[in-house]
Amino acid sequence: MCMLNQTQGVAGTARAREPYRRIESPAELAEILRNPHAWVSDIAASQILGIPRGTLRRFRAEGRGPRYRKVGGAIRYQVAWLIEFVSQTTVETSETRPIPASEGIAMHG
């Protein structure tokens, strides 16, 4: 039987434990982001999103924010869900929004 918990990880491996603690370096963050199916704690999710852990807690209480799973008392976010959340909250500005051809600059000759 394979048990998953924060202390032991999967089958007691240290590697399985990594995403459930604070992300310590940019290289570690890059490694986690390369696996969209990885599960991370709310601590790591707050670091990935760049928002306080308390904001994630408030989002959950309000039924907002990224999707998550609750296993026992543990909150887990899938990396793909965090990326999806960021994509959905992107705001286009006048400088980043494509200009429709009908609004383009007219060339006068």
Domain ranges for the chain: 25-86
Residue 9's pLDDT is what?
Answer: 36
Taking the C-alpha atoms of residue 10 and residue 108, their distance in angstroms, rounded to an integer, is: 68
pLDDT over 70 at 41, yes or no: yes
Taking the C-alpha atoms of residue 31 and residue 70, their distance in angstroms, rounded to an integer, is: 24
pLDDT, greater one: 38 or 21: 38
CB-based contact 23:44 (threshold 8 Å)? yes
The four Cα atoms 81, 4, 60, 44 give a dihedral, to 10 degrees, of -60
Give the confidence band of 2 by pLDDT, cuts at 50, 70, 90. Answer: very low
